Amino acid sequence: MRKMSGLERVLTALKCKEPDRVPHFERVAKRVIEGILPGASYEDLVEYLDLDGIRFIDRTHSWSYEVVDEARRVKRDQWGGLVRYTTEDNPIPFEPAIRSEKDLDNYVLPDPDEEWRYEYLKQVVKRFKGERAIVVGVTDIFALGRENFLGDVGYFRAMVKNPDLIDRVNELLLSYQLRYIKNCIELGADVLWINGDWAMTEKPMVSRQFAQRFLTPPLQKLVEYAHSWGVPCIKHTDGNIWPIYDLILDTGVDGLHPIDPMAGMDIGEAKAKFGDRVCLCGNVSCAFSLVSGTEEEVRQETKEVIRKAGRGGGLICMSSNSIHSGVKPANYLAMVKAIREFGQYPLALD
């Protein structure tokens, strides 16, 4: 088969078809980059490892923050809540923006059209457009509303006691994100990565009814809008989503990440149940093998993922969340190498 570009590979897999080889891309923590290519930027690493895509998130590259407490590494995010920085490069919300309906009445949304928000995207487009998939993070409406806007507890409480509040929040945040998506697509985004956790290890965070009532409608709007521009979407959610996977797929998403193995999601089972409907993105464990396994264990696990889910295409082999700061650099390298070793189509694995 003709050698494909990274972009072609990713787009082909997202159509559930077979590229020349199993595609791979990842967001990689600075600490790991430092261990692989000291002094290099993420973009340099993407080129060095010949990753098929480059992915970044809105939280880190297009939201504004102001410093609140330098020593404690606390900042206020653009929505109005407080975030803190930990071992990871991305900020973690801990105090929500909205505490009461009154806060919401007077709320002024940040402006999604500000030019600076797209600076990084423009740089990436300039360097990689047409060659590697430019995968732009869009925090989904449930996660944004829950983590940054109302806080977990406030959000869950309102789902039961004050559903209208959730509807209002959803509508507000959707208006921002749709505009953000439009701007990103016009500037060259190839794929949208809709991140936001819907599940925990045992089961989804909310019941099927609540997922249907509050979570999937705004996701579907994001997906339909992106599709109206011909841009595919990958939905990311950790956790056990067996009880609601059909609802997620019904929104029309093109890819599903990461098929969380720690939550008992088996990628072979996922392939059998819905591998023809959606591209599977996952699921080499960044809880176990990538953190504490040997390189050989990582190689074997990567091979297993490809064996279970690679047949006929429709697989982007990735980690089970991200290459976070606890991943051993050598193990990540072993994973990339194994994808190249075992991921050539036609697969010769059984």
Partner 1 sequence: MVNLEDLSQAVVKGDVEAAFALTKAALEAGLPAGEILDRGLIPGLKEVGDLFEEGEYYLPELIVSGDAVAQALELLEPALRQGGEPHMGKYLIGTVQGDIHDLGKNIVIMMLKGNGWEVTDLGVDVSPEEFCAAVSEGDFQIVGLSSLLTMTMPNAARTIEALKKAGLREKVKVMVGGAPTTPEWAAQIGADAHAKDGPSAARVAAELVGKS
Q: Please give the residue ranges that form the binding site for partner 1 (CB under 8 A).
A: 84, 86-87, 92, 94, 152-153, 156-157, 159-161, 200-207, 210, 243, 262, 287-288, 291-292, 324-326
> What DSSP designation does 21 have?
B
**Comparison of 5 and 325: residue with beta carbon closer to partner 1:** 325
* Residues with Cβ within 8 Å of residue 212, at least 6 apart in sequence: 247
Cα separation, 177 vs 112, whole angstroms: 8
Q: Write down the least CB distance from residue 264 to partner 1, Å.
A: 11
Cα separation, 211 vs 215, whole angstroms: 5
Residue 225 contacts residue 45 (beta carbons within 8 Å): no
Binding stretches for ligand B12 (CB under 6 A): 86-88, 90, 92, 197, 200-201, 238-239, 258, 260, 262-263, 286-287, 320-322, 324
Q: Write down the least CB distance from residue 311 to ligand B12, Å.
A: 24
Which residues partner with 84 through β-bridges?
74, 92
**Comparison of 12 and 78: residue with beta carbon closer to ligand B12:** 78
206 binds, among ligand B12, partner 1, none (CB under 5 to 8 A by kind): partner 1
157 binds, among partner 1, ligand B12, none (CB under 5 to 8 A by kind): partner 1
Residue 19 contacts residue 346 (beta carbons within 8 Å): no
197 binds, among partner 1, ligand B12, none (CB under 5 to 8 A by kind): ligand B12
Helices (H) and strands (E) in the chain, counts: 16, 11
* 66 CB burial (10 A radius; 0-12, 13-18, 19+): exposed
228 binds, among ligand B12, partner 1, none (CB under 5 to 8 A by kind): none
257 binds, among ligand B12, partner 1, none (CB under 5 to 8 A by kind): none
